[in-house]
Amino acid sequence: MISICKVCVLWGALLSVCLGQEVSVPAPVRDVQPDLLRSGATTLRWFGIKVYDIALFAKGLPYASNSTAVLSIRYDISIKHHRLLETTLQEWQRLGQGTEAQRNQWITQLDKLWPDLKPGDRLTASKHRDGPTQFYFDDRLLGAIPDPAFGPAFFAIWLDANCRYPAVRNLLLGVKGR
């Protein structure tokens, strides 16, 4: 029987999270919200493969789910937009975010916005307090989801207490040693 320690070491080797390279706020967002502060950043690796660098910027620190914030992700792998949609929907279902009708509406809206991604591409979500969430591809505005419930649900994928990668969450929120 494999010991728990060996399993933990194996998982640590397969999925590692480390301090990420610099991921910045897209210029159009920076121009209209120059007071955003970087909360945290990290790199997600899966089975040793670097998937993306991710950074969280917030209007005030510490980050609050109902506040204006930006989540920016620079991808190191190619990924089709339909795979992003599937994963997003699965995470919302797992976390209990939104109703089934809301999730379906959001996925339909995202399907019209999100492109296929290749290494070096940056996808950014800019969530406005009690307002829409805008998406940027590099520095180009893709569009917005107007539902104010969308932004907190989308950010929950990385920031909810029950998110899939708690180490990513902690580094984005600037929590160390927990």
Does a structural domain hold residue 74? yes
Q: What is the CATH number of the domain that holds 92?
A: 3.50.70.10
69 within 8 A of 58, measured Cβ to Cβ = yes
Residue-level pLDDT at 33: 79
Instruction: Note whether residue 120 is domain-resident.
Output: yes
Using CA atoms, how far apart are residues 126 and 134, in angstroms rounded to an integer? 5
Bin 174: left if φ > 0, else alpha if -120 < ψ < 50, else beta.
left
* Rounded distance between C-alpha atoms, residue 172 and residue 23, angstroms: 12
pTM: 0.84
- From start to end of 131-173, where are the E strands? 133-137, 140-145
With respect to residue 34, please indicate whether it lies within any of the assigned structural domains.
yes
Is 108 contained in some domain? Answer: yes
Q: Which domain holds residue 55?
A: 4-172
Per residue in 104-156, pLDDT tens?
999 999 999 999 999 999 999 999 998 899 999 999 999 999 999 999 999 99
In a domain, 177, yes or no: no
Q: Is 178 within the bounds of a domain?
A: no
Total number of domains constituting the chain: 1
Tens digit of each residue's pLDDT (9 = 90 or more) over 53-100? 999 999 989 999 889 999 999 999 999 999 999 999 999 999 999 999
